[in-house]
């Protein structure tokens, strides 16, 4: 299969579509490595539309989806990462199958410590099946924090959670002014971890999610040593601008795979009250060895 | 622009400071019991094995108590933090050393730390209590903003005036600030913030910007030149009903609050209600949708007010609509992938503006046309402005890129406003130097 670089005819998403180069998979190589400078491509051909901006957005969204998956799989609220910068990437779009993205990006810790400016690097292959959620993700990242340190911090978080007094009097995190009380930070981090699973599962080529706010939290007593939480979050979907409430149930123990069950509301139409999206997961038995 | 600069480029969440948590409880204890911790230290001990761990545990059991564990003995390899009163320091350190327990001094003198913390807390309380001064680094209610507008206009009546351009659906006044050094119908620049009510950082940025303009006039050569030749109009609360709702009931409300008979859901997306590609892709005909375009172009009083004002004025040369979040600077079109005729010029201008922004705090914005940078959206403000002959039409998406999203902490208001100002200034300067 010989992928070939080609300048796209205008407009790129026109009726004719890509020219197949091989029987199995029609490939259209959109863009070679995207350089670091922020921008949306070269407008040197004023006659052509700005197609370079599309892959850039796609690369960012693929990187974020990969990070949702990575964070969830790590099962560690102390090792959460966020996207720092997309460094390079390529995309292949097959109108019948979907969209494959290979992206290299830098990350930083969600909770950087004093003076810590370290960046990790990740490489990911993200496959968005046509309009279907749960993109297939293959992601590896360089280590950002020492395994021992991460375990220590997870364990500390665990102990602090066990000591929380229930019922928790939480209104919302962050509050409406964006503030997260330091003593509530641990709750937010764990919620973010659980939400990562939900956001990954719901992501499609066009739908991309952010965690907007945590609106209620309830911790359950357990017979074993696990942490058991029920909480509701508001997710923000970018392309539709919708706010989606989800109920998430999470069971966690440091070092063990994360268990998540969730139930999200769908958009209200004038006729029906609400639909639901449900899902649950236990991390597959692969080892996380960061 | 190279990769992400280290340190404070990505204003993320504040770091977990468990020590502060513990110290606060100490302050409370000290305040209540008037205890004194002068000379007390916190030692961090690392036990190598279970045997050493149990030695530490023995300390815990001593009566009278000689140490106070902040982080108790749990497992070897996990640090143990203990507060040791000044009077016991010598004995405890001897104990540790004789048993080969490695330790380090985490806090040399607790009282010093407590005093510092107490001072910091008192200081911030003083700032909050200071009345009569509007805080540019906080978020405000509709009433507070409207009240500030009246004060502001009064204090700077030589350059600023207030114009009511219409009424919202719930009959709230729609206000615009006019910055002018005189003349009749100078070419003008339009800036709006808050068209989507949940984007609180935009109103806050607009207010800071208004103040910046009056402060810098006569001092900053570029701004002074701009204002001497052109007028600036700023609509701070473009969606007053929605904004009030974000304070009272739903912090994440986006649309206006219009109600129509027989329609179950409330509100129209004001940034889909403009007469430019109305009803096309990237807008929704479902009234319950966040991007509901409304029954017809300009059906919403908040949009109609602006259209009427700008059309009647007839001499606007630039329009800038400010949103959040995503960190982007964009130009038309949103409704299609087609480039505008002066795309090259807008691309270059956006590039310059984003570089000027970056120089302030190292925050990276991406830029390009709306449809290729963000998404396809129809019936939007800047498309209408461009189609109406306003060549320099831009849309901002301010901080951040999703960590806090709409709930951007108030601590980021001023940095955001400072960097955005440099981009605005760049655009306004270009508009001044390229009359048409």
Residue among A233, A255, A230 at smallest CA distance from A173: A233
A261-280 per-position pLDDT tens digit? 999 997 655 544 334 556 66
Confidence label for A12 from pLDDT (cuts 50, 70 and 90): very low
Q: Which residues contact A230 (CB under 8 A, 6 or more apart)?
A: A217, A218, A219, A220, A247, A248, A249, A250
Q: Which of B21, B365, B404 sits opposite A174 (nearest CB)?
A: B404
Lowest mean pLDDT among A113-117, B370-374, B398-402: A113-117
- The mean pLDDT value for B135-161 works out to 96
Tell how far CA A14 is from the center of its chain. Answer: 30
Q: Which residue of A has its CA nearest to B3?
A: A36
Q: Which residues contact A110 (CB under 8 A, 6 or more apart)?
A: A80, A81, A82, A189, A192, B12, B13, B403
The enclosing H or E element of A215 equals strand A209-220
Q: Hey, of B195, B367, B373, which one would you mutate to test binding to chain A, going by the most A CBs within 10 A of its CB?
A: B373
Cβ neighbours of B357 in A, within 8 Å: none
Query: Could you tell me if B407 lies within 8 Å of chain A, comparing CB atoms?
Result: yes
Check pLDDT > 90 for residue B228.
yes
Cβ neighbours of B366 in A, within 8 Å: 38-40, 56
Cβ neighbours of B265 in A, within 8 Å: 268, 270
Q: Do B372 and A113 touch (CB under 8 A)?
A: no
A147-186 per-position pLDDT tens digit? 898 999 999 999 998 888 777 777 799 999 999 998 899 9
State the Cα torsion B109-B111-B114-B116 to the nearest 10°: -80
Q: Which residue of A has its CA nearest to B24?
A: A183
- The mean pLDDT value for B382-387 works out to 98
Separation in Å, CA B124 to CA B118, B130, B133, B208: 10, 10, 15, 21
What's the confidence (pLDDT) of residue B411?
96
What's the confidence (pLDDT) of residue A282?
55
Lowest mean pLDDT among A180-184, A281-285, B303-307: A281-285
CB within 8 Å of chain B, chain A residues 121-140: none
Instruction: Provide the shortest C-alpha distance from residue B176 to chain A (in Å).
Output: 25
Cβ neighbours of A184 in B, within 8 Å: none
Check pLDDT > 60 for residue A246.
yes
Check pLDDT > 60 for residue A30.
no
Block residue for tokens 């690097």: A121
Which is more confidently placed, A28 or A140? A140
Query: Could you tell me if A185 lies within 8 Å of chain B, comparing CB atoms?
Result: yes
DSSP string, B383-429: HHHHHTT-SEEEEEEES-SSSSTTS--GGGHHHHHHHHHHHHHHHHH
* Residue A273, number of CB atoms within 10 A of its CB: 7
Q: Do A39 and B408 touch (CB under 8 A)?
A: no
Q: Do B410 and A41 touch (CB under 8 A)?
A: no
Name the burial class of residue A177, with classes exposed (0-12), middle (13-18) and buried (19+) by CB atoms within 10 angstroms of its CB. middle
Q: Which residue of B has its CA nearest to A178?
A: B409
Residue among A122, A97, A105 at smallest CA distance from A28: A97
Which is more confidently placed, A70 or A272? A70
Q: Please state, for a pLDDT cut of 90, what percent of chain A lies above it.
A: 50
Tell how far CA A107 is from the center of its chain. Answer: 12
Query: Could you tell me if B28 lies within 8 Å of chain A, comparing CB atoms?
Result: no
Q: Which of B337, B351, B401 sits opposite A49 (nearest CB)?
A: B337
What's the confidence (pLDDT) of residue A277?
57
Cβ neighbours of B251 in A, within 8 Å: 172, 176, 213
Q: Please state, for a pLDDT cut of 90, what percent of chain B lies above it.
A: 69
Side-by-side strand order, sheet with A136-141 = A81-94, A98-109, A120-129, A136-141
Check pLDDT > 50 for residue A51.
no
Cβ neighbours of B288 in A, within 8 Å: 267-270
Distance, first Cα to last Cα, chain B: 32
> Average model confidence (pLDDT) for chain A?
77
What's the confidence (pLDDT) of residue A1?
33
- Whole-model pTM: value is 0.74
Cβ neighbours of B74 in A, within 8 Å: 155, 159
Structure tokens at A191: 């919620």
> Average model confidence (pLDDT) for chain B?
88
Contact, A128 vs A101, CB < 8 A? yes
Residue among A76, A62, A69 at smallest CA distance from A290: A76
Which is more confidently placed, B330 or B24? B330
Which of A56-65, B41-50, B56-65, B301-310 holds the top average pLDDT?
B301-310
Query: Could you tell me if B77 lies within 8 Å of chain A, comparing CB atoms?
Result: yes
- The mean pLDDT value for A199-211 works out to 94
Which is more confidently placed, B432 or A284? B432
What's the confidence (pLDDT) of residue A18?
36
A213-245 per-position pLDDT tens digit? 999 998 888 888 899 999 999 999 999 999 999
Q: Do B347 and A43 touch (CB under 8 A)?
A: yes
What's the confidence (pLDDT) of residue B287?
97
Q: Please state, for a pLDDT cut of 70, what percent of chain B lies above it.
A: 86
What's the confidence (pLDDT) of residue B283?
97
Residue among B124, B405, B78, B386 at smallest CA distance from B251: B405
Confidence label for A290 from pLDDT (cuts 50, 70 and 90): very low
Query: Could you tell me if A174 lies within 8 Å of chain B, comparing CB atoms?
Result: yes
Q: Do B15 and A183 touch (CB under 8 A)?
A: no
Residue among B281, B279, B308 at smallest CA distance from B296: B279
What's the confidence (pLDDT) of residue B61?
73
Check pLDDT > 70 for residue B92.
yes
Confidence label for B120 from pLDDT (cuts 50, 70 and 90): low
Contact, A106 vs A85, CB < 8 A? yes
What's the confidence (pLDDT) of residue A141?
95
Check pLDDT > 80 for residue A21.
no
Q: Is B97 a catalytic residue?
A: no
Set B235, B300, B397, B429: catalytic member: B397
Check pLDDT > 70 for residue B373.
yes
Lowest mean pLDDT among A47-56, B49-58, B395-404: A47-56
d(CA A210, CA A223): 33
Confidence label for A133 from pLDDT (cuts 50, 70 and 90): very high
Which is more confidently placed, B422 or A16? B422
């Amino acid at each position: 299969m010989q992928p070939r670089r080609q300048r796209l005819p205008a407009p790129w998403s026109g009726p004719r579509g890509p020219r197949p180069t091989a029987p199995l998979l029609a490939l259209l190589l959109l863009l070679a490595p995207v350089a670091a400078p922020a921008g949306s491509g070269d407008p040197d051909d004023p006659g052509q539309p700005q197609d370079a901006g599309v892959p850039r957005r796609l690369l960012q969204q693929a990187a974020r989806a990969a990070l949702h998956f990575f964070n969830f799989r790590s099962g560690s609220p102390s090792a959460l990462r966020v996207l720092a910068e997309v460094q390079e990437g390529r995309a292949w779009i097959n109108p019948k199958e979907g969209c494959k993205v290979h992206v290299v990006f830098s990350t930083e810790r969600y909770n950087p410590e004093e003076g810590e400016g370290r960046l990790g690097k990740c490489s990911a292959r993200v496959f968005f099946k046509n309009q279907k959620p749960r993109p297939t993700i293959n992601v590896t990242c360089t280590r950002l924090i020492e395994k021992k340190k991460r375990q220590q911090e997870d364990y500390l978080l665990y102990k602090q959670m066990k000591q929380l007094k229930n019922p928790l009097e939480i209104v919302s995190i962050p509050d409406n002014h964006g503030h997260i009380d330091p003593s509530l930070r641990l709750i937010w981090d764990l919620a973010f971890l659980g939400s990562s699973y939900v956001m990954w599962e719901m992501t499609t080529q066009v739908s991309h999610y952010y965690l907007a706010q945590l609106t209620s939290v309830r911790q359950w007593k357990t017979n074993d040593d696990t942490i058991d939480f029920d909480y509701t979050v508001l997710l923000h979907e970018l392309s539709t601008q919708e706010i989606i409430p989800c109920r998430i149930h999470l069971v966690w123990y440091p070092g063990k795979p994360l268990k998540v069950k969730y139930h999200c509301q769908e958009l209200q139409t004038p006729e029906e009250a609400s639909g639901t999206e449900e899902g649950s997961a236990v991390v597959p038995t692969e080892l996380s060895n960061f | 622009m190279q990769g992400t600069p280290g340190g404070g480029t990505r204003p993320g969440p504040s770091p977990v400071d468990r020590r502060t948590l513990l110290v606060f409880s100490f302050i409370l204890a000290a305040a209540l019991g008037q205890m004194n911790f002068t000379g007390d230290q916190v030692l961090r001990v690392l036990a190598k094995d279970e045997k050493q761990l149990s030695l530490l545990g023995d300390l815990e059991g001593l009566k009278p108590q000689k140490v106070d564990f902040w982080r108790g003995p749990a497992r070897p390899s996990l640090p143990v933090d203990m507060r040791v009163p000044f009077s016991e320091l010598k004995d405890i350190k001897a104990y540790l050393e004789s048993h080969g327990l490695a330790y380090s001094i985490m806090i040399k003198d607790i009282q010093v730390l407590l005093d510092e913390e107490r001072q910091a807390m008192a200081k911030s309380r003083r700032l909050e209590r200071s009345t009569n001064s509007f805080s540019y680094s906080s978020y405000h209610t509709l009433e507070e903003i409207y009240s500030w507008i009246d004060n502001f206009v009064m204090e700077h009546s030589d350059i600023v005036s207030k114009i009511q351009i219409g009424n919202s659906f719930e009959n709230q006044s729609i206000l615009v600030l006019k910055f002018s050094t005189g003349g009749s119908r100078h070419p003008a620049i339009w800036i709006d913030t808050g068209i989507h009510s949940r984007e609180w950082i935009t109103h806050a940025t607009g207010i800071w910007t208004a103040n910046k303009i009056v402060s810098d006039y006569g001092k900053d050569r570029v701004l002074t030149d701009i204002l001497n030749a052109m007028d600036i109009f700023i609509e701070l609360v473009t969606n007053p009903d929605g904004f009030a709702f974000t304070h009272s009931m739903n912090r994440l409300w986006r649309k206006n609050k219009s109600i129509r008979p027989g329609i179950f859901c409330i509100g129209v997306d004001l940034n889909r209600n403009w007469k430019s590609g109305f009803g096309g892709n990237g807008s929704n005909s479902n009234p319950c949708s966040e991007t509901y375009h409304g029954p017809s172009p300009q059906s919403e009083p908040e949009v109609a007010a602006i259209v009427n004002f700008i059309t009647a004025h007839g001499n606007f040369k630039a329009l800038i609509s400010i949103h959040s979040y995503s960190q982007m600077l964009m130009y038309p079109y949103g409704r299609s992938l087609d480039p505008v005729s002066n795309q090259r010029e807008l691309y270059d201008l956006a590039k310059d503006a984003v570089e000027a922004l970056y120089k302030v705090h190292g925050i990276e914005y991406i830029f390009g046309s709306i449809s290729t940078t963000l998404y396809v959206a129809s019936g939007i403000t800047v498309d209408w402005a461009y189609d109406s002959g306003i060549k320099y039409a831009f849309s901002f998406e301010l901080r951040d890129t999703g960590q806090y999203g709409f709930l951007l902490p108030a601590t980021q208001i001023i940095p955001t406003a400072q960097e955005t100002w440099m981009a605005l200034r760049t655009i306004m300067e270009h508009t001044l130097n390229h009359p048409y």
